[in-house]
């Protein structure tokens, strides 16, 4: 019960002020802290029987933790905590499956670790301290509660094919359709391309990036033929990680012959059925779409190009390798009413969802 205000010579009495401070602390500090300490993790929870040796890149050391505890940091690092709860559950199952797949296949990380906290070598992982810094003190309680709830609800659930954990690949945004694993990784039957509607809310659905000739030459280790050098601007645009909304343009004002010659400096030579780039030729040298994406820092290998004297403009769809579950697609499916099991069966073909513990 909140006490009534009591005036004391025009102000609150000291005892009343103390009561208000105590009540405020209980409501806004004590109760959230109690919830966190009892629900947001889990020293009292039964072990999953699987232990993860994680190389924490931020500390430069290997730490050991239970698989379910590890998943909290993964889901926090891989998917926005405000996504629909069914999408968070799908992410939790996919992340659990990926970790068990890595344990079963003993992927090397260059140390005694099973996995790294660096997303470039597996799954992103964010420590509780980094979560608080990223979200702020109060939002930390709400966001972490959502993540832990998704993990606890799906506890022990694993995606399997032939009784074994699958390579549960996932990515941010497909751009409208995922692709077969064989188009980017090794081919497996349970990773087939599917339509992925509802991704339009992603900031990476369609983006544009311009890469200067100098950056292209340096990153692809090429040389510009002397007879073509005069077509290029001396003041090339620097390589940038910035992106803007997709706004296609044309070579328009360039003289016809010059435009034709510039187009042949860089051209897409082969695409997959989705439209993603399978092969591209730059300055007479052929590269795979994956090589172009990774060496030039593009968000995906689904792009079209425009060429001018300053460099190449890439009009890009999606963000990531495009194989397996699209996270923004999962969120879109959940908003449309799909449960996490429906999401997982949509993105992973002919798999089972088994309880391992």
3-class SS at 88?
helix
Per-residue confidence (pLDDT) for residue 258, from 0 to 100: 53
Per-residue confidence (pLDDT) for residue 11, from 0 to 100: 57
Q: What is the pTM of this model?
A: 0.81
Examine the domain organization and report whether 184 and 210 are in the same domain: no
Examine the domain organization and report whether 223 and 242 are in the same domain: yes
- Where helices occur in 113-192 by DSSP H, the ranges are 128-135, 137-153
| Rounded CA separation 220/294 (Å) | 10
In the 8-state DSSP scheme, what is residue 252? T
Examine the domain organization and report whether 180 and 249 are in the same domain: no
Q: Is residue 102 part of a domain?
A: yes
Examine the domain organization and report whether 88 and 108 are in the same domain: yes
Q: Are 315 and 246 in contact (CB under 8 A)?
A: yes
Examine the domain organization and report whether 56 and 128 are in the same domain: yes
Examine the domain organization and report whether 55 and 174 are in the same domain: yes
For residue 269, report the phi and psi dihedrals to the nearest 5 degrees.
-105, -20
In the 8-state DSSP scheme, what is residue 271? E
**Domain residue limits at 284:** 206-317
β-strand 325-326 against 170-171: which pairing, if any?
A: parallel
Residue 234 tokens read as 């001396």
| Rounded CA separation 149/154 (Å) | 9
Examine the domain organization and report whether 60 and 187 are in the same domain: yes
Q: What spatial distance separates the first Cα and last Cα of the chain, rounded to whole Å?
A: 44
In the 8-state DSSP scheme, what is residue 189? T
* pLDDT per residue as tens, the chain (357 positions): 444 444 455 556 777 766 666 666 566 655 555 554 444 444 446 778 899 999 999 888 999 999 999 999 999 999 999 999 999 999 999 999 999 999 998 754 455 889 999 988 889 999 999 999 999 988 999 999 999 999 999 999 999 999 999 999 999 999 999 999 999 999 999 999 999 999 999 999 999 999 999 899 999 998 876 666 666 665 543 333 443 333 334 444 455 555 556 667 899 999 999 999 999 999 889 999 999 999 999 999 999 999 988 899 999 999 999 999 999 999 999 999 999 999 999 999 999 999 999
Number of structural domains (the chain) is 3
Q: Are 134 and 196 in contact (CB under 8 A)?
A: no
- In angstroms, the Cα distances linking 17 to 4, 14, 121 are 11, 5, 54
Per-residue confidence (pLDDT) for residue 351, from 0 to 100: 98
| Rounded CA separation 331/84 (Å) | 6
């Amino acid at each position: 019960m909140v006490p009534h205000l009591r005036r004391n010579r025009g102000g609150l009495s000291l005892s009343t002020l103390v009561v208000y401070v105590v009540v405020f602390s209980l409501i806004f500090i004590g109760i959230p802290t109690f919830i966190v300490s009892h629900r947001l993790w889990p020293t009292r929870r039964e072990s999953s029987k699987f232990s993860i040796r994680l190389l924490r890149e931020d500390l430069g050391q290997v730490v050991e933790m239970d698989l379910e505890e590890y998943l909290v940091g993964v889901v926090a690092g891989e998917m926005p905590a405000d996504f629909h709860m069914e999408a968070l559950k799908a992410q939790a199952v996919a992340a659990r499956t990926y970790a068990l797949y890595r344990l079963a296949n003993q992927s090397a990380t260059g140390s005694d670790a099973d996995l790294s906290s660096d997303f470039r070598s597996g799954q992103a992982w964010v420590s509780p301290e980094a979560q608080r810094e990223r979200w702020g003190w109060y939002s930390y309680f709400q966001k972490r509660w959502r993540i832990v709830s998704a993990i606890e609800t799906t506890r022990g659930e694993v995606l399997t094919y032939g009784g074994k954990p699958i390579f549960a690949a996932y990515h941010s945004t497909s751009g409208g359709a995922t692709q077969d694993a064989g188009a980017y990784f090794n081919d497996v039957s349970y990773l087939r391309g599917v339509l992925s509607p509802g991704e339009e809310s992603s900031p990476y659905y369609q983006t544009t990036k311009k890469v200067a000739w100098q950056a292209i030459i340096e990153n692809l280790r090429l040389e510009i033929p002397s007879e073509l050098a005069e077509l290029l601007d001396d003041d090339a645009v620097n390589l940038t990680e910035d992106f803007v909304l997709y706004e296609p343009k044309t070579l328009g004002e360039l003289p016809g012959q010059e435009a034709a010659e510039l187009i042949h400096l860089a051209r897409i030579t082969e695409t997959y059925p989705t439209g993603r780039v399978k092969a591209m030729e730059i300055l007479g040298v052929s590269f795979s779409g994956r090589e172009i994406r990774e060496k030039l820092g593009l968000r995906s290998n689904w792009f079209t190009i425009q060429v001018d004297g300053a460099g190449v403009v890439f009009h890009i769809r999606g963000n990531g390798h495009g194989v397996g579950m699209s996270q923004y697609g999962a969120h879109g499916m959940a908003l449309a009413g799909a449960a996490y099991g429906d999401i997982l069966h949509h993105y992973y073909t002919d798999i089972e969802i088994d309880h391992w513990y």
